[in-house]
Structure 1
Amino acid sequence: MTGERRAAETLTEDQCLDLLVTVPVGRVAFTDRALPAIQPVNFVMDGTDVVLRTGRGSKLAIAMRRAVVAFEAGAFDPVTHAGWTVTVLGEARTVTDPAELARLAALPLRVWAGGSRDHYIRISGRYISGRRLWEAAA
């Protein structure tokens, strides 16, 4: 690996959004009892917002009430060391409007964890940034 040239590209917001819809799992960073916490989550994009589902009363649901959070997703190739990462920063809010809940329930959001996951959280896509890394030509 020594001597390899790597190229990094800063992605536009549109490129970031295009990449986010290609992966089903990301990580949300939030504050739990005044300490940083990170949890993997299934998600779906709704415009520039990240939508996820969790159980009512879960640690994640409680911690994310009107909190500013970071969401990150990415994909990497372990052979070529190429990949990308996208970060979404914004306010997380619990969805309570019946019409919005019905619309979100129709989105293709598959939850991998067991148990009831009927609590929807929307993370506003206030700041969206990303980078892509690939091997540069010699």
Structure 2
Amino acid sequence: MNSHTDPIIKLTFDECWELLADEIVGRLALVVDAHPEIFPINYILQRRSIAFRTAGGTKLWSAASERPAALEIDGYDPGTEQAWSVVVRGDTELIEDQAERDAVDALHLEPWQPGDKNFYIRLTPRALTGRRFRVNKPDVWNTRATDRRRASFE
């Protein structure tokens, strides 16, 4: 079957959640000063929500005041030659309860970026969607050497 006729497969809630659990980095989309901004974050899953830490600043202010947010992760599996993406849409809130912070820390949420990340944020999903699709085979002569699809064919 060629890639033009391969369907886009909608992922189930459980498949989306498993992919979220397998990843540790995503892109958080927030509204900042009436326009969208995207921030890379490392996260953990806790109680069917996404938790991350941040310093004071734009991300914190937006997560605390502009409540709607989205998180996106994606990937490629050379073994199956399929790409996938998962999008979480929901609301953010500051985690202020110390017991809740301790529960997040117990799951080894460790910020990647240096500096104090003393604020804990939770993204509670209202919608969780994902899809998987077979990618086009790379053109061996024209596709960049760094394109992940090449690993499937070399």
Read off the aligned partner of 2:17 and give its amino acid letter: L
1:61 corresponds to 2:63:
no
The one-character-per-residue Cα deviations of 1:17-60 (angstroms, maximum 9, x if unpaired) are 011111111001101111110111101111321111101x2210
TM-superposed CA distance for 1:106, in Å, is: 1.0
Q: Structure 1 stretch 76-85 or stretch 12-21: which is displaced more?
A: 76-85
Q: Which has the higher helix share?
A: 2
Read off the aligned partner of 1:96 and give its amino acid letter: E
Report the aligned-residue RMSD. Answer: 2.1
Match of residue 32 from structure 2: 32
TM-superposed CA distance for 1:107, in Å, is: 1.2
Q: How many residues align?
A: 133
TM-superposed CA distance for 1:115, in Å, is: 0.4
Whole-angstrom distance in 1 between the partners of 2:114 and 2:3: 43
Checking the alignment, whether the CA contact within 8 Å between 1:7 and 1:135 is kept in structure 2 is: no
Read off the aligned partner of 2:90 and give its amino acid letter: G
Larger of the two Rg values belongs to structure: 2
TM-score, normalising length from structure 2? Answer: 0.78
Any unmatched runs of 5+ in structure 2? 137-154
Whole-angstrom distance in 1 between the partners of 2:47 and 2:11: 17
Q: Which has the higher strand share?
A: 1
Whole-angstrom distance in 1 between the partners of 2:93 and 2:130: 23
Structure number with greater CO (CA < 8 Å, separation at least 6) is: 1
1:1-138 equivalences under 5 Å are 4-5=3-4, 6-55=6-55, 57-66=56-65, 67-77=67-77, 82-134=82-134
